[in-house]
């Protein structure tokens, strides 16, 4: 009798291992299928990495670092995907007083209503751990970041229009295709600010942050340096960074001045924002979207509540537990333990007796756990 139970237990254990191993393999295959393509840009004087970007890099592009140092790229090796930049100067951001900001840039007075338009040129962009793929042939996870940004802005009294048109495929012509959607937003909606929302394709350590005590991502502002609205867009970007540095330190990762216009020639106050990268959870990007919404309302309208949030504790280094593969391994171990325990109880106590015990205990424990979960729902890692 005992021998039969041991055999049954062993079979159940092996089936569990097989199932969980298959799930892990599926994730590993998806990770292997996506090959990020990005440039690494070096400081020509120190030979240290300045930044990485999934965008094409050209001679003449500029870069404002998190500590407000301005660089210009002067050499690009496209075959090796590397570039070198020289230091130009330390930029001075506009002075902002959070307590008096309600007196500045009251755009709503000119329009009669607060309006922000949002679209995503690269419709496929997604977050591998949350969306199951880094690129989805359809509405990618980036649209959920759009939605998070929209919810927070609307809660602050801003009317938001999100264009959900697909501009696939993700190629060099994507900005030409998305231009029609941007033109429609500008003509019909007349926004105070037009945002093109993206995610990057670089290693996650470039973007991982803990902001105001929450797991979040850094955000890159991208400006098209070949458009007539560059000066106005740069002024807005600098103002956004100045406010962010005081309210949510380190959330604005940097500002990249890239070749092209990114449809920013259509209207002043037009920005491209990159919320993190493909290899961390989408939840981090959604958290940052809520913070960015707060910053944007302050920068544009200056009428938001005068609140101070916690400063950045420190940039969170990517740990093994933040890597999806490692996380999956932990869940495999937990799954094996749980299934094995249930199987042992089933074989030891008999099916019917075990069912009654488990059902009674589960109802009681689930009710208790649900209460705790509701209280801690906002504490998602």
pLDDT in tens, 349-362: 444 444 444 344 43
Closest CA to 361 of 348, 375, 342: 342
217 belongs to a structural domain: yes
308 belongs to a structural domain: no
pLDDT band at 237 (very low <50, low <70, confident <90, very high): very high
Residues 370 and 272 in one domain: no
Mean pLDDT of 193-197: 98
Task: Give the range of the structural domain holding residue 156, as residue numbers without chain letter.
Answer: 89-300
Residues 61 and 116 in one domain: no
**How many domains does the structure of the chain reveal?**
4
What per-residue confidence (pLDDT) applies to 319? 33
Model pLDDT for residues 122-151, shown as the tens digit of each residue: 999 999 999 999 999 999 999 999 999 999
Residues 162 and 177 in one domain: yes
Residues 112 and 173 in one domain: yes
Residues 62 and 175 in one domain: no
pLDDT band at 345 (very low <50, low <70, confident <90, very high): very low
Model pLDDT for residues 246-284, shown as the tens digit of each residue: 999 999 999 999 999 999 999 999 999 999 999 999 999
Helix (H/G/I), strand (E/B), else coil: 290: helix
Residues 341 and 203 in one domain: no
314 belongs to a structural domain: no
Residues 118 and 200 in one domain: yes
Residues 185 and 123 in one domain: yes
Q: Is the pLDDT of residue 374 over 60?
A: no
Mean pLDDT of 74-93: 98
14 belongs to a structural domain: yes
Residue 112 corresponds to which tokens in the numbers above?
A: 């009669």
Residues 276 and 133 in one domain: yes
What per-residue confidence (pLDDT) applies to 91? 98
Residues 260 and 332 in one domain: no
Strands, E assignment, the chain: 39-43, 49-53, 62-64, 69-77, 82-90, 115-119, 159-162, 193-200, 208-211, 214-217, 219-224, 252-258, 270-277
């Amino acid at each position: 009798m005992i021998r039969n139970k041991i055999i049954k237990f062993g079979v159940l254990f092996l089936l569990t291992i097989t199932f969980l191993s298959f799930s892990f393999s599926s994730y590993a295959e998806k990770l292997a299928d996506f090959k990020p393509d990005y440039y690494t840009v070096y400081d020509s004087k120190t030979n240290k990495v300045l930044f990485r970007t999934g965008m094409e890099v050209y001679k003449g592009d500029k870069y404002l670092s998190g500590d407000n140092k301005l660089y210009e790229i002067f050499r690009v090796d496209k075959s090796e995907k590397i570039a070198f930049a020289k230091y130009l100067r330390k930029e001075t951001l506009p002075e902002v007083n959070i307590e008096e900001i309600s007196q500045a840039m009251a755009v709503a007075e000119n329009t009669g209503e607060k309006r922000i338009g949002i679209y995503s040129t690269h419709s496929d962009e997604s977050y591998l751990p949350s969306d199951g793929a880094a690129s989805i042939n359809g509405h990618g996870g980036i649209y959920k970041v759009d939605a998070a940004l929209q919810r927070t802005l609307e809660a602050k009294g801003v009317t938001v229009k999100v264009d959900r048109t697909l501009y696939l495929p993700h190629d060099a012509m994507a900005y030409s295709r998305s231009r029609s959607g941007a033109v429609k937003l500008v003509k019909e909606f007349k926004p105070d600010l037009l945002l093109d929302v993206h995610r990057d394709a670089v290693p996650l350590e470039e973007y991982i942050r803990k902001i105001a005590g929450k797991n979040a991502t850094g955000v890159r502002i991208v400006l098209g340096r070949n458009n007539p609205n560059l000066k106005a867009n740069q002024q807005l970007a600098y103002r956004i960074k100045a406010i962010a540095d005081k309210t949510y330190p380190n959330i604005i990762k940097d500002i990249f001045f890239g070749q092209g216009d990114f449809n920013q020639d259509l209207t002043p106050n037009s920005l491209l924002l990159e919320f993190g990268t493909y290899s961390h959870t989408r939840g981090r990007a959604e958290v940052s979207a809520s913070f960015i919404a707060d910053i944007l309302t302050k920068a544009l309208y200056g009428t938001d509540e005068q609140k101070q949030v916690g400063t950045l504790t420190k940039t969170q280094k990517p740990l093994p537990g933040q890597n999806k593969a490692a996380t999956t391994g932990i869940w495999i171990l937990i799954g094996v333990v749980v299934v094995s325990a249930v199987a042992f109880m089933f074989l030891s106590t008999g099916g019917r007796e075990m069912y009654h015990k488990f059902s009674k205990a589960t109802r009681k424990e689930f009710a208790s756990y649900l209460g705790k979960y509701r209280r801690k729902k906002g504490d998602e890692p």
